[in-house]
Amino acid sequence: MDASRARRLVGPEEGHRLLDRLVAPGGMRAVFQPIVRVGDGEVVGYEALCRSSDPEASTPSEWFEAASRLDRRVELERACVRVVAEHGAPPNDALLFVNVSPALLAHPDSVALRDLLPGRLVLELTEREEVDDVDALRLTLDPWLRTGARLAIDDAGAGYSSLKQVVALLPEFVKIDRSLIIDIHLDRHRQALVAALAAFSAEIGANLIAEGVESRAELAWLRDADVGLAQGFLLGRPGEPWPEARHVGRRITRQPRLERLAVRVDAARSQREACEAVAVHLFRQGGLMPSVYLEMGGRLRCQAQRGLWQVLDGMVPSAGITGRTYRTGEEHYLDDITTAVDYLEAIPGVVAEFCVPLRTDGVTVGALNVESLVPLSEAVREEVRACAALLGHRLGDLQPEQSRVPLRRLARTAASLVAVEDTSRTIDAVLVAARELSGMDSAMLVLHAGHTGEDERNAVGPLREALHDMAAGEVEHLRNVLEPLTSCYTAGEATGRSVTASETLRNAGARSLVVLPIAALGRRTGLLVLTNRDPVALGPEQIEPLELLAVLAGSCLEMASTVEALRHQARRDPLTGLGNHSTFHELLRDADEDEAAVLVLDIDDFKRVNDTGGHLLGDEVLRATSSALREVLDTPETAFRIGGDEFAVLLRGPAARAAPQIEADILATVGTMLRSHGAGLSIGTAHRRDGEPLIDTLQRADARLYRAKDWKIDHRLPSDVPSTPRRDHRPARLAR
């Protein structure tokens, strides 16, 4: 800042007057500077800047210096955002970069500004301001990022720059401060720093933007260093919306870059290493998200990827643009992905996709796919074609990657899973095996409920709460993404765009993620989600065993469910759904509570119901009796059908004390229902005595039941007395 001007703004009165003029309607105007792709000079976005409507007024740096001193920083920033928003969205799907401070983001009223700005928004967060609490900043960013806004770290290399902070905030763009770019072609120290930043950004999946490019020599060095994006007076000055970029980048040949790539590809010792070289090269061109797929075992397996947090793997050849390209052997370019019905969305915001087949000796062996947040020029597409030609030629000389599946561990896991027949224990065993096999610290098994009800979730590990907090829509989205895949996993990068449904986990601290479909009998029955708080490098060697585990888990869960269903069926009376005679006697044998009571119920005159209404009516009466019992009992599973028209209730623990009231309620409810059918109900109740086996308690209850029935018989008119007294059946029933 000019020293004389700084002195003029020392006084608070003058500072307030300046700010009052700026925030007033018409006090500021917006200008926009293009951000271009170095390789072809195409505009990928515009940085919004504010200028005073008075050309003689002070500079923006002076405004913000005064606003900070006078505690009006947020007010000034909000006014700037409103001025920028008046111009709407940039043309041709370009991104709009808007400078914001942590103070603005933290202000409770600032989220409302998001509705004023276009959808393709990038928040430029300056690193000149110290950030004390990165976790708190992530929380303030979250409402913006959930609307599709992206994040850029501004002024990297100046002020409080921290690569750890870059990783913690997961930006998609890192902007190199102008102080590092000035005459960089003459300064080896700054060259080393920028080259390291370029390599670091490529590894974590962030796009590097060089600011303040003002000479062709600077631009040439940046291109040679694979810095993909740039802005500066050489490429385009700030102007009224929307200024065109100067096309100086097209005059510099791309041949040296391809020659360097050819050297790296030729030096590769495996197919994956060659694919990695191509993916890194294309990513460094700026704004590109490349992925390389090779056919293996009838599926397209991802060998390399950059710019995306997650990999869509095990793709069937009929899925997506990548599958179409492999299947037809023809390249496909979409400048508007919404026009393609077979587009397979991995992340939101993608505008264009270009996919080229990989050919070895005239045979299509895979596909090189590039997605972009902006349309792709012919120059970029030609670069992709050249990369595909280099890679396809080299693949023929290299052996496929040899899988190093830990077979012993997988075999041990398989043996332990197959041995479990209980569903809940099978779920526990799957989660233990998945964490052991993957090295991840948290896992969740989601079992689909079908069209009705909620999915069942079981989660373990330090991120289990975040796993449970995933919205139902997020789980459904992951299920849809995995439909044509065998897995979806992070590529070992700390940043890059993720599948929409993964943002909840990512915001909770997840840095690695694997999602696998669970299937049985040809249908998808659930998801296995594995996540970790630290980045984990994942590839087919780690993923293929997990895919086998997911297949095994689906089969074991189906088997356990079938066994449980058969067991349930064997323990239930098929007519009423109540527990049957054997289940009742098992509980009598195994119950160890000191307090217990047994109620034995018998339908009076049930033979008359069958004789007058037929057996169908008799079955209906039995079902109605079981339904009425369920209504009376707080725990319906305590009721059993132990004979033809005979039922029992086992009350344990504190519930046994309420046996007299329960008996009265059953007589009132069930008895009333039976009288409408010309029948009645008799009950015998007995409480367990100290040290008494429950089978003896049952005999005492049974004796009381028949005393009750005898009393009823003795007090009936002769015409009401059954021809065969029911007490004659007592020995046979107790023998069961």
User: Could you give all domains of the chain from N- to C-terminal order, each with its CATH number?
Assistant: 3-252 (3.20.20.450), 256-395 (3.30.450.40), 407-568 (3.30.450.40), 581-735 (3.30.70.270)
What's residue 123's pLDDT? 93
Cis omega (within 30 of 0) on the bond before 711? no
One DSSP character per residue, 167-193 reads HHH--SEEEEPHHHHTTGGG-HHHHHH
What residues in the chain have per-residue pLDDT under 50? 1-7, 9, 161, 249-252, 405, 717-736
What's residue 729's pLDDT? 40
Angle between helix axes 255-267 and 378-395 (nearest 10 degrees) is 20
Angle between helix axes 423-438 and 540-570 (nearest 10 degrees) is 170
Task: Note whether 477 and 510 are within 8 A (CB).
Answer: no
Q: Quick one: CA dihedral 400, 406, 407, 413, positive or negative?
A: negative
DSSP state of 443: E
Cα dihedral: 530, 531, 535, 541 (round 10): 0
Q: Report the candidate in 251, 550, 288 with the shortest Cα–Cα distance to residue 413.
A: 550
Q: Quick one: CA dihedral 270, 271, 274, 275, positive or negative?
A: negative
Residue 305's DSSP bridge partners are 291
Tens-digit pLDDT profile for residues 62-81: 888 888 889 998 999 999 99
What's residue 718's pLDDT? 40
Residue 598's DSSP bridge partners are 650, 686
Share of the chain above pLDDT 90, in %: 31
DSSP state of 256: H
Alpha carbon distance 455, 379 (integer Å): 48
Q: In what order do the strands lie in the sheet with 352-360?
A: 299-305, 288-296, 363-372, 352-360, 332-334
Angle between helix axes 271-283 and 378-395 (nearest 10 degrees) is 170
What's residue 3's pLDDT? 41
Helix (H) or strand (E) holding 251: none
Task: Note whether 76 and 109 are within 8 A (CB).
Answer: no
The rounded radius of gyration (Å) of the Cα atoms in the chain is 37
Task: Note whether 559 and 620 are within 8 A (CB).
Answer: no
> How many distinct helices (H) and strands (E) make up the chain?
26, 23
Task: Note whether 496 and 204 are within 8 A (CB).
Answer: yes
Tens-digit pLDDT profile for residues 162-180: 566 676 777 889 899 899 9
* 614 phi/psi in degrees, rounded to 5: 90, 165
What's residue 4's pLDDT? 44
Contacts of 263 (CB under 8 A, 6+ apart): none
Contacts of 352 (CB under 8 A, 6+ apart): 333, 334, 335, 336, 337, 371, 372, 374, 375, 376
Task: Note whether 305 and 296 are within 8 A (CB).
Answer: no
Helix (H) or strand (E) holding 109: none
Predicted TM-score (pTM) of the model is 0.62
Residue 646 token pair = 């005979």
What's residue 727's pLDDT? 42
Task: Note whether 374 and 351 are within 8 A (CB).
Answer: yes
Residue 238 exposed, middle or buried by CB count within 10 Å (0-12, 13-18, 19+): middle
SS3 assignment for 633-674: CCCHHHEEECCCCEEEEEEEHHHHHHHHHHHHHHHHHHHHHH
